[in-house]
Amino acid sequence: MKRSARTKDGETWRVAIVPIRLSGADYRRAHEACHKAASLWNFFLASIQEYWKENETDPTEKEMRHFLYEQRPDLRDGLHAHTVQLILGDLMDAVSTYRSNRDSGDKNARAPHREKNYRPLEFTAGFGWRVTPDGRRIALSFGKGHKRIALPLPEIADPKTGEILPSERWGSMQLCWDRNARKWSLHISVPTPKPPQGNPDIIAAIDEGIINPMTVAIETEDSYDVLVVNGRHARAVKHYRNTRIATLQEKLSRCVKGSKRWRKLNAKRKRIEAMTDSALHNANHQTTRKVADFMQAHDAGRIVTGDVRGIEKSTRKDEAKRVRNTKNQRRRLSQWSRGRQETLLEHKTGMAIEHIDESWSSKTCPACQTRNHPNGRGYHCHNCGFTCNRDAVGAINILIRAKNGSYQPMDTNKTVHVKYLRATPIFQPKTGVEHGVIPGTGA
């Protein structure tokens, strides 16, 4: 992998997704190759498990390749040598991740064990894939003696600068099948300018939630600037998906599996899943883009968020909490895409997110430290009269805690500026009346 030669200083990698169409024969060949890649993974998995029975250590990659050449050389047929190497590399990476998690005391860490039926194919730059001599197509290699798959050369521009990235600068690419959308796509690694690192003394504190996926607070010289990103549209998409899928599932359960009607309904279910998945993916990107831009405008160099990891675990039907967590709340929590959002924000800012304890952050009054029980989306302190958006209070408290190690009164000479933005996916189901909106707060 000649990745490093393809990025300049101050650049990092991102993945550009390019939808593609494959002709009938190529379509079948690509599917076959993805199944082959899975068989190869399964073979390596079985070999390493066999090895562990007789040895205390892990085999080397060289030993693993030997097992393949000796026992199943046929499995390499139809895959480029680098594709084979990358599959082995992935398994060895998974094993070493498992080892280091074990060493750091994670008792739940498990060695890779799951067999696969399907794996995307990865092609290295200059070997696995290359541009055809006429410069108009890219050819994906499937190893010696096998025809290549040629595709029109896509044009990729950087979303921030608009600059066209020539194919000489692309890294490896993956040929992926989306089973819900029933479409092929190329996931191409391309260089992108590294985001500015900001001033580490300026903290962006984030309160993550279900109604407003991200609320950011940053302290300036004369104010607390807060950005509330509204997730109403993403919520509508989730609601639409849940109700439509439930209805279809109900109808499916009354059909004979595999019948004409069953197939028709199942195809519909997949279509809805593909459509809503991409809408939610898009909403997560929009949310994190807005937060990253807000941080950049304030030159923030640290991201701190409240720690609620484990919240999903505690929502199971354990006796003490059963009454409080209604079925609906449980579903909303488990569909909360905060993990994905955090990863996207880390990519967009090039910073690691720090987690701190956030207990009482949404109840404590930032002005006088009294604990209130806000109803609805607004926060009003019964002691000092401080009034603000509820999520903004959470973010401001997290900010103060990140700075001082505990909750302390905010600087009341500074004003609180709250700005509202929406993350609006392209696909929007028709919705009825919006509930729970406080006029004027946008929340």
Toward Zn ion, which CB reaches closer, 188 or 226?
226
Question: Is 44 a binder of Zn ion (CB under 5 A)?
Answer: no
Question: Is 386 a binder of Zn ion (CB under 5 A)?
Answer: yes
Toward Zn ion, which CB reaches closer, 45 or 365?
365
Least distance to Zn ion, CB of residue 399, Å:
17
Q: Which of 165, 237, 303, 367 binds Zn ion (CB under 5 A)?
A: 367
Question: Is 378 a binder of Zn ion (CB under 5 A)?
Answer: no
Question: Is 326 a binder of Zn ion (CB under 5 A)?
Answer: no
Toward Zn ion, which CB reaches closer, 275 or 416?
416
Least distance to Zn ion, CB of residue 279, Å:
39
Question: Is 365 a binder of Zn ion (CB under 5 A)?
Answer: yes
Least distance to Zn ion, CB of residue 389, Å:
15
Question: Is 384 a binder of Zn ion (CB under 5 A)?
Answer: yes
Q: Which of 109, 202, 272, 368 binds Zn ion (CB under 5 A)?
A: 368
Query: What is the SS3 assignment for the chain?
Result: CCHHHHCCCCEEEEEEEEEECCCHHHHHHHHHHHHHHHHHHHHHHHHHHHHHHHCCCCCCHHHHHHHHHHHCHHHHCCCCHHHHHHHHHHHHHHHHHHHHHHHCCCCCCCCCCCCCCCCCEEECECCCEEECCCCCEEEECCCCCCCCEEEECCCCECCCCCCECCHHHCCCEEEEEECCCCEEEEEEEEEEECCCCCEEEEEEEEEECCCCCEEEEEECCCEEEEEEEECHHHHHHHHHHHHHHHHHHHHHHCCCCCCHHHHHHHHHHHHHHHHHHHHHHHHHHHHHHHHHHHHHHCCEEEEEEEECCCCCHHHCCCHHHCCCCCHHHHHHHHCCCHHHHHHHHHHHHCCCEEEEECCCCCCECCCCCCECCCCCCEEECCCCCCEEEHHHHHHHHHHHHHHHCCCCCCCCCCEEEEEEEECCCCCCCCCCCCCCCCCCCCC
Question: Is 22 a binder of Zn ion (CB under 5 A)?
Answer: no
Toward Zn ion, which CB reaches closer, 161 or 370?
370
Least distance to Zn ion, CB of residue 397, Å:
12
Single out the segment in contact with Zn ion by CB under 5 A; choices: 9-17, 54-62, 127-135, 374-382.
Answer: 374-382
Least distance to Zn ion, CB of residue 170, Å:
55
Toward Zn ion, which CB reaches closer, 228 or 365?
365
Least distance to Zn ion, CB of residue 384, Å:
3
Q: Which of 71, 334, 359, 383 binds Zn ion (CB under 5 A)?
A: 383
List interacting residues with Zn ion (CB under 5 A): 365, 367-368, 370, 381, 383-384, 386
